[in-house]
Chains A and B, each alone.
Chain A
Amino acid sequence: IAGITQAPTSQILAAGRRMTLRCTQDMRHNAMYWYRQDLGLGLRLIHYSNTAGTTGKGEVPDGYSVSRANTDDFPLTLASAVPSQTSVYFCASGPQLGTGELFFGEGSRLTVL
């Protein structure tokens, strides 16, 4: 059982380029989330999705977009990357919003130069 798979594991990107971080889960969870982890700032929510077809903004949504075309996939797109988006990005899922624990992917380390 894979759980949550994120890709790429690591990426170096030039500022201004477009980038999509992929996230796939095989647990049939309804809720999915994208967090970024920065030193001293913990995990901050970027976007979330209650169920396929719906998305919502988190604490730090600017510069990011998401889509939820189906239950399994929840890609995060940076339309025009900036250096402040250098971070480690974690995708997570849960059975439904607000209940039970979240299951996290291994993370995607993104460096924007």
Chain B
Amino acid sequence: DQQVKQNSPSLSVQEGRISILNCDYTNSMFDYFLWYKKYPAEGPTFLISISSIKDKNEDGRFTVFLNKSAKHLSLHIVPSQPGDSAVYFCAASGAGGSYIPTFGRGTSLIVHP
């Protein structure tokens, strides 16, 4: 059973608008969450993370929000740019998963010029 779920396989957004990528998790022992970005034919690269002691972390155009009670996190990209077009993976780690990162299935973001 999936412990980290990204229920939207794809998302299409206009350049300049906000992109919101969602992620849900089931294991309440997860306490560290990360987003990775992956371009075709490349390995995933780390984008932003958040610890369970926070509910928001911001880095430039990227903000991650964590709602622990709902076991939900989201990645906001504002403003979206065509270069943001990639697959985004949500990952979680913590005592419940022996501290090994567990990944979601990814969301493919397309930002149209």
Contact = CB atoms under 8 A, between A and B. Distances in A.
Interface of B is mostly: loop
A102 interface: yes
Nearest to A38: B105
A79 interface: no
Interface in A62-113: 90, 92, 97-99, 101-107
Interface string A25-48: 000000001010000111111001
B108 to A, nearest CB: 11
Contacts of A43: 44, 89, 103, 106
Contact of B100 (A4, A42, A98, A106): A98
Most chain A CB inside 10 Å of its own CB: which residue of B9, B34, B42, B105: B105
A33 B100 contact: yes
A40 B9 contact: yes
Given A42-B89, A98-B93, A104 B45 contact: yes
B103 A42 contact: yes
Interface string B31-57: 010101000011111100100000000
A102 B49 CA distance: 11
A41 B105 contact: yes
A2 B77 CA distance: 29
A16 interface: no
A58 interface: yes
Contacts of B106: 42-43
In the A-B complex, the 3 residue pairs with the closest CB atoms = A98-B99, A104-B43, A101-B46
28 contacts: A4-B43, A40-B105, A41-B105, A42-B6, A42-B103, A42-B104, A42-B106, A43-B44, A43-B89, A44-B103, A45-B100, A45-B102, A56-B98, A58-B100, A90-B43, A92-B43, A97-B98, A97-B99, A98-B100, A99-B32, A99-B99, A101-B46, A102-B44, A102-B101, A103-B46, A104-B43, A105-B43, A106-B43
Interface of A: 4, 33, 35, 40-45, 48, 56, 58, 90, 92, 97-99, 101-107
